[in-house]
């Protein structure tokens, strides 16, 4: 696991939790008095979503979607496929999409359109990381944990070929 294919610790668990607390409180303020639906994008967003949601003291429900566009490559194929759909009726409700990382923006652009078509009242995005250099589609991330350089990130939910999700910190893949 701690072999020479990954770098050193880039962002610690403590830094992530502190940021999740800040963003959670911000969401609580922004949606005061509202009931929200938080939708986590499997599988990468699981740890980040858990950190965020416990700091949001509002009435809310959660749901998950699974989409894929990558396979075992480190660059987006540009094609988004739904592997697990929503179970919740989001019509007329404020939705917050929780993502691990925004790179090209293709995935979120697709999801925004999808959530609109399902009648969401508003759609906000909360991402653990943003890689602005990778952007191919214009997407605004409303709540960002950390901005990172254009390298392939693993850990804290993020994988390479399904590995490294369980690392309790964020690092990068060396052998890119």
Catalytic residues: 103
CB 111 within 8 A of CB 67: yes
For ligand IMP, the closer of residues 31 and 145 by Cβ is 145
The only residue of 5, 15, 26, 76 in contact with ligand IMP, by rule CB under 6 A: 76
Residues 39 to 68 in contact with ligand IMP, rule: CB under 6 A = 41, 44
Q: In terms of C-beta distances under 8 Å and separation of at least 24 residues, what long-range contacts does 84-89 make, across chains too?
A: 84/42, 86/39, 86/118, 87/63, 88/37, 88/39, 88/61, 88/63
Span interacting with Mg ion, options 40-48, 113-121, 123-131, 139-147, rule CB under 5 A: 40-48
Span interacting with ligand IMP, options 6-14, 19-27, 57-65, 99-107, rule CB under 6 A: 99-107
- For residue 27, give Cα distances in angstroms to 54, 75, 106, 171: 12, 31, 24, 27
Footprint of ligand IMP on this chain (CB under 6 A)?
41, 44, 69-70, 76, 99-107, 152-154, 158
- The residue ranges that bind Mg ion (CB under 5 A) are 44
């Amino acid at each position: 696991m701690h072999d020479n294919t990954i770098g050193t610790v880039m962002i610690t668990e403590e830094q992530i939790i502190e940021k999740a607390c800040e963003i959670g409180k911000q969401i609580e303020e922004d949606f005061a008095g509202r009931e929200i639906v938080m939708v986590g994008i499997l599988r990468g967003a699981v740890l980040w979503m858990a950190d965020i949601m416990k700091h949001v003291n509002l009435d809310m429900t959660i749901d998950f979607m699974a989409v894929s566009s990558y396979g075992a490559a480190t660059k987006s194929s540009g094609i988004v496929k739904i592997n697990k759909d929503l179970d919740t009726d989001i019509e007329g409700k404020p939705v917050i999409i929780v993502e691990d990382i925004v790179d090209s923006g293709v995935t979120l652009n697709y999801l925004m359109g999808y959530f609109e078509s399902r009648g969401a009242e508003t759609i906000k995005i909360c991402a653990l990381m943003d890689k602005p250099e990778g952007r191919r589609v214009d997407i605004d991330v409303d709540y960002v944990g950390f901005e990172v350089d254009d390298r392939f990130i693993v850990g804290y939910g993020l994988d390479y070929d399904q590995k490294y999700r369980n690392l309790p910190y964020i690092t990068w893949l060396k052998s890119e």
